[in-house]
Amino acid sequence: MGPPDFQHKGRATSRNIKLEKAKEKERANAAAVKSDHTVEWSWPYTSRYRSTCFLVLGFAFLLRYLVSLHSYSGAGTPPKFGDYEAQRHWMEITVNTPVEDWYRNTTDNDLTYWGLDYPPLTAYQSFVHGSVIEALQPEAVALHTSRGFESPSSKMLMRWTVLSSDVLLFFPAVLWFINEFYSDYREKQRVWALAMVLLHPALMLIDHGHFQYNCISLGLAIAGAAAVVSKRELWACVLFPLSLNHKQMSAYYAPAFFAHLLGRCFQKNNLYKSTIAFVKLGVTVILTFAVCWWPFSESKETALQVLSRLAPMQRGIYEDYVANFWCGTAMVFKWKQLFPMAFLAKLALGTTVSACLPSMVQQIYAPSRKGFLYSMLNCSLAFYFFSYQVHEKSVLLPIIPASLLAIEEPQVLQWKLPTWFVAVSVSGAAVLHLMYFRLHPPRKYPFLFEALIMAYTFAHFVPLALYTNWKQWLLPKDTPVKQKLT
């Protein structure tokens, strides 16, 4: 037996080894839990990464602010003054009339002048923003007398309502998603993923240049996607319905959410557990819709009046030149002249559902986090191609999942094809734009160049959709893990 001090040192060394092993085991367990994507959200890791993220966030805000300093479509142009006036008018109506008259034609609410045509959450958002503006500048939202009101101070207030919506909702949603989906990636890659979404020009130009609030519905949809990839399925069933209740175009993502969550339910060990999981999700969705529609549930007539404002059937299957199937083929196949609108609406529904089915089936059969994002992209492309009355801003819906997949799948956002193909593609686009800016179209076809650009763009979208659908079917399903439903 050695001297007492050596024995003490030996025991101390042994304890240190055991403590070190325990710490290593704890770190391994923490890493395992993190890879399981069931831990609570926290600000990503190193101080350098935090600083870089703040730089990206600050630069994204600065770009939005600079865009907002310029004019917008319809400024100073009566009688309707563009989308800025639409948003301002909705604030005027919601702060000055009772809820039951927001979607109803009355002496105070002329629906032919920018009548509300989005779901209830947009009306509530207009009421909140309108209340703020009314407190600061009442004449900007005064009933009847404020039509076309465009003072510098009111425009500044309106611009800040969009900027604050971006900062308070869209930015945190993107951060949450990047932290969950790209948690196993290097910090540099996560920064690039963050920048690819926040710095995309389309959303900035439409919301802060053209003047809209797509950042709210898209932010809620991204937050719903973050909840899906982190296995917080009940939260997904709250956040995505909120997105859908802000703008109905979020329905572009509905098949992906439904198919993925249904596939997760089928992954349970037995039929009873699958049924209980499905019922929980369904009840959560129903309750969320009930809360959103509660003020309009006083009568069947009121609810139907709101619904009638959400479906622009009177506008026809298409209105402007959008790079989708109906517009892209209209030059050789006159859809509006050959078929009545009621038939075209049913045809649009059937083709849209058919185009979504392959992506939905794959997620029901083999649900996965990555597959869910591909399904969001593929289903939104299906809606963009085939649904009824597609607006040009609807391209934001496929842009978002494509941007969220930017680091995982860079081919989605850039041609990684033979050099000659890329050269031909870019040259064709350049020629078409030169024709548009330099030449005068024939009198008989005043919108010839717009139609050619639209058809050329659609021809590029088609192979992209085929590729992403094929890529989704190559993905394996995620290994079933313990899911966090709350």
CB atoms within 10 A of CB 244: 26
pTM of the model: 0.87
- Establish if 459 belongs to a structural domain: yes
CB atoms within 10 A of CB 136: 11
pLDDT at 382: 97
Contact 33, 39 (CB under 8 A): yes
Task: Collect the ranges in the chain with pLDDT lower than 70.
Answer: 1-46, 412-415, 479-486
Structural domains in the chain (count): 1
- Establish if 277 belongs to a structural domain: yes
- Establish if 252 belongs to a structural domain: yes
pLDDT at 1: 46
- Establish if 327 belongs to a structural domain: yes
What tokens does 185 get? 């990636």
Buried b (16+ CB within 10 A) or exposed e, 51-66: ebbeebbeebeeebee
> What is the extent of the structural domain holding 288?
225-473
- Establish if 24 belongs to a structural domain: no
Q: Residue 146, SS3?
A: coil
pLDDT at 37: 43
pLDDT at 419: 78
- Establish if 103 belongs to a structural domain: no
DSSP run (H or E) holding 385: helix 369-386
- Establish if 25 belongs to a structural domain: no
Nearest one of 262, 227, 256, 222 to 37, comparing CA atoms: 227
pLDDT at 483: 44
- Establish if 17 belongs to a structural domain: no
pLDDT at 113: 93
